Chains A and B, each alone.
Chain A
Amino acid sequence: MVNYYVRRTARVFVTIFLVASLTFGLVRLLPGGPFTLLRAQLLRQGVPADEVDARIANLQNIQPDAPLWRQYIDYMLALFQGNLGESISLGEPVVSVLASAAPWTIFVVLVSTILVFAVGIFLGSLQAYWEGSRFDQVVSGVSISLMSLPFYVVAVIALYVFAYQFGWLPTAGTVANGVERELGIPFIVSALKHSVLPIFSYTIGAIGGQALAMRGNSIQVLGNDYVQVARLRGLADRRIATRYVARNAILPMYTGFLLLLGFRLGGTVILEQIFSYTGLGYYMISALNANDYPLMMGTFLVITVALVLGVYVADLTYSKIDPRISAGESDEAY
């Protein structure tokens, strides 16, 4: 058992290492090389060639003319020290840009995903138990309609109605301009106000999907004998739905939860753009538009590391949720 955890932990590091290598490779694959444009720009401004090379080396921690393996080692060493280079468009270290952006994204994604998961499971398990009832039909219908609504459509409509038409909520940003960026009541209130619409648009559509997935899983569980037994024992419907069915249908949902977190972390590139919400996704797109490759890759790497850790937590807690599958037992080969 202990062995499993050690191996699993080692794998986290290997994965992050491989993904970091991948970002290195991708930077080099990008059209025209990442710094061709910048180099041309600087040279046009009359900066001496030596200095241009030095500046570019500083930006991504690489010597553009060094052999590839040398560049790779420099890049990885810098990463290891938490140095992601310097943003071209913002003129700040990538790390500090990301450190100020990440909390917003994590906040929005986490709150919205927890809401999606909690409400979805609750609705789905009740639906499955009363399969075919009016309740099931209504909730299914609403779920399906919600699911066919992409979150950016919800976002655009919500922005139009609540921000532009009624003016109840702010249209852009993470906190209001005049508010001090330190922990205090005005800051929290402003931050919450700014996060309502992004969270709302990111949650509503996804609830339907989770409810239906839960419903599907639960219907399979319902076919099992122990549910019949529970019913024969005369247990209350609600108790059977939550204790017997939900529990057993939840395992695939649970892994799904952390995956969802990952997918949704990526989805913020669209969400944050619509609300000009300065999180990771927002910076990724603005970096892309500004040809700011160090910032773009930094965002990519940070989102990736968050995901790796999510899956890691899923794996370690797996056996706690479903005792039928202990971490060791799943290694038995057929």
Chain B
Amino acid sequence: MKHTETDSTGVDWRSESTSAPDMSTGERLREVYEEQIRTPLLVAWADWRTRIGFLIIGFYLLMALVAVLGLWREPSTSQAPRYLMLFENMKYPLGTTASGVDLAALIIHSTPAILLMITAGAVWATGIAVAIGTLAGYKGGRVDRTLMSFSDLVMAIPGLPLVIILAVTLNPENPILLGVIINISYWAGLGRSLRSQVLTIRENDYVEASRTMGVSTPRIIAKDIIPNLMPYVTVNFVFAARYVMFASVGLYFLGVLPYSTQNWGVTLNFAYSGGALFSWSAAHWLLAPMVAIMGLSLGLILLGQGMDRVFNPRVRTRMAGESKSTASDDEDATVTEVL
């Protein structure tokens, strides 16, 4: 039932390959814009989680911009009185450390590198995971065995300990390289769970139909399989990004990673070893980087959660008001109640 309904409106991603031939390029471009960009954005924006997520991420991007453009002073020792509390002196809103470093400067100037790092790590991890997971799950047979043996091998290597050893060996200071190294084996687990999802998806009727019609494998994977995985992939993209941030900050906190630029983890490390945990006059020193970490990860998670709706075809048609059959469901409460 649902398939035919959505087919006629052209919102459904499955219909594209069958309804496309009669259209001109312009029409098709317009349709692609409508389907791939406008509707998803509308759906995304309609969800409060995405909206807040966007705003938070936007705020961090702004911070990165401030740092890159040099609109805030660089952190350096003795640039301010020591142990200023939060908002005690509005010139140094977040206070200062034991050696008189402006905490706001530390936080702001850490942002660009961290954003670069988590993006690089997440793109790397999810990209490879999707490629390998879908191909292995869909193709089966020898391809599956080879790819899964490979991911098993990679997965067999514990993440953080490997990163520690690689960090000692390679001394990576470039944030992009560091992001990739931290997630160097992250894709394997994700690829494997994607594969297990593909195993059930590939048994669906429409996949079999495509196969019988002789649609090529890459096309089936792109049109029939990956859209079904999208909610899972987006959520995991965010998890991968979060993992990079947590792991890197944690390892900086332990003092294991080499650092050339500022990082919240380094700040945390100095605060912790500076005894900030035990005296109230220095608590803000520990809190500022913690809040920075939690804020960014909150933004990422909200965005991931919201994107879940964008890519979940069932929710999407419902949101776009195309489908009447599911609109009466009690689950529909989300849409109205949450707005």
Q: Residues on A close to B: CB < 8 A?
A: 11, 14-16, 18-19, 22, 26, 29-31, 131-133, 136-137, 140, 144-145, 147-153, 156, 159-160, 164, 209, 212-213, 216-217, 219-220, 222-223, 251-252, 255-256, 259, 262-263, 265-267, 269-270, 273, 281, 284-285, 288, 296, 299-300, 303-304, 307-308, 311, 318, 322, 324-325, 330-334
Contact = CB atoms under 8 A, between A and B. Distances in A.
24 contacts: A11-B149, A18-B153, A26-B165, A29-B169, A30-B165, A136-B334, A153-B293, A156-B286, A212-B235, A222-B331, A252-B193, A255-B196, A263-B159, A263-B189, A265-B158, A273-B254, A285-B164, A288-B168, A288-B256, A303-B158, A303-B161, A304-B156, A333-B142, A333-B144
A169 B290 CA distance: 24
Contacts of B302: 144
Contacts of A265: 158
B200 A325 contact: yes
B158 A311 contact: no
A134 B47 CA distance: 16
Interface string B174-208: 00000000000000010011001101101100000
Given A11-B149, A15-B153, A288 B164 contact: yes
A263 B278 CA distance: 31
- Minimum-distance CB pairs A-B, first 10: A333-B141, A132-B334, A266-B158, A266-B160, A148-B297, A148-B298, A132-B333, A259-B189, A333-B140, A150-B246
A80 B144 CA distance: 30
Interface of B: 138-145, 149, 152-153, 155-162, 164-165, 168-169, 171, 189, 192-193, 196-197, 199-200, 202-203, 211, 217, 231-232, 235, 239, 242, 246, 249-251, 253-254, 256, 272, 277-278, 286, 290, 293-295, 297-298, 301-302, 305, 308, 312, 314-315, 331-335, 337-338
Contact of B199 (A133, A219, A269, A325): A325
Contacts of A324: 200, 203
Contacts of A213: 235
A270 B155 contact: no
Contacts of A29: 169
Given A31-B168, A132-B334, A222-B331, A15 B152 contact: yes
B192 A255 contact: yes
B336 to A, nearest CB: 9
A134 B103 CA distance: 39
A144 to B, nearest CB: 5
B170 to A, nearest CB: 9
Max count, chain B CB within 10 A of own CB: residue among A136, A269, A300: A269
B158 A220 contact: no
Given A209-B239, A267-B160, A11 B152 contact: yes
A11 B189 CA distance: 17
Nearest to B272: A156
A144 B217 contact: no
A220 B129 CA distance: 20
Contacts of A331: 140-141, 144-145
B256 A333 contact: no
Contacts of B164: 269, 284-285, 288
A219 B161 CA distance: 35
Given A270-B251, A288-B256, A300-B165, A145 B140 contact: no
A140 B169 contact: no
Nearest to A325: B199
A220 B152 CA distance: 27
A14 B145 CA distance: 14
Nearest to A253: B193
Contact of A255 (B140, B171, B193): B193
Nearest to A209: B239
B203 A311 contact: no
B155 A307 contact: yes
Contacts of A284: 161, 164
A144 B144 contact: no
A14 B337 CA distance: 54
Given A252-B193, A288-B256, A152 B250 contact: yes
A18 B151 CA distance: 13
A300 to B, nearest CB: 5
A330 B251 CA distance: 39
Contacts of A160: 277
A266 B161 contact: yes
Given A29-B169, A30-B169, A219-B312, 17 more contacts: A15-B149, A19-B153, A19-B156, A132-B332, A136-B334, A150-B249, A153-B290, A153-B293, A252-B232, A269-B254, A285-B254, A288-B168, A299-B161, A300-B161, A333-B140, A334-B141, A334-B211
Contact of B294 (A30, A149, A300): A149
A308 B156 contact: yes
Nearest to A213: B235
B196 A252 contact: yes
